[in-house]
Amino acid sequence: MLVLECPGQRKAAGVNLRLEWAININPRKVRMSDTSQTALIRKLYSAMGDVNTFKSLLADDAEWDIAEGFPNGGVYRGLDKTVSGFFPFMADFEEFYAKGDEFFESGDHVIVLGHYFGLSKKGRRVQSRFAHFWTIRDGKVVRLQQTADTLLIAQALGK
Low-confidence ranges of the chain (pLDDT < 50): 1-30
> How confident is the model at residue 32, as a pLDDT?
59
Give residue 13's pLDDT: 47
Residue 47 and residue 54: Cα distance in Å, rounded? 7
| pLDDT score of 28 | 43
Domains and CATH numbers, the chain: 34-156 (3.10.450.50)
Helix (H) or strand (E) holding 19: strand 19-21
pLDDT recorded at residue 35: 87
- Contact partners, residue 56, CB within 8 Å, separation at least 6: none
pTM of the model: 0.77
Q: What is the pLDDT of residue 5?
A: 42
Q: Rounded to an integer, what is the distance from CA 145 to the centroid of its chain?
A: 10
